[in-house]
Structure 1
């Protein structure tokens, strides 16, 4: 899944159910504290974001479209600023859902890129950026 706005995330429907999440935080004494959570992703994310979040499923919730488009990294978007994402053009269903959800969708051709596996987010490494 990918955070694409302050309160919006793309998600593959296959991880919508209850999850086991391990929260790791400093314990204030130089060590770590581990908390196991067995909840849905929406609840966990809402707590950390500080408000209710929206999960936008790859393929718009259609199981066949989700599987086909996730193969082409439909949930692996590159968020370049809150509410603006770079996506592969070939994921028509997911891109349309993102657009209808108020996201600024920047599509890039991807016939050969998506064959190599790894979406726009995988191809970025923001190790250093100049101030804009």
Structure 2
């Protein structure tokens, strides 16, 4: 049996690490629900693409130590990883950016249907990140 969910999630994160927003979007269902840490749910690929554009302006990130888990029926997945980043431009409401680096444990949860991601939820410790970029 092929692990379609695992392949989809690996493809999504490989695209993230390559800075390939189009590759990430190709893994998503048109009506994807994107639950961001400390933010409102964004719905649809256009909202997801806008979020990615914003993130690319403010942060340069690479994910390492990736572990992906999938449910036997392929409808759910999770990933645990380390975010290695540089804070490039001040994100409104957050500390001022001046090229600070950070290393932050994080995780994502996914729902999938027909080989596409229909829901992505990402969690990390915002207080930890603020402490790292404020030091």
TM range (shorter): under 0.3
TM-score, length basis structure 1: 0.27
TM-score, length basis structure 2: 0.27
Bigger radius of gyration, 1 or 2?
1
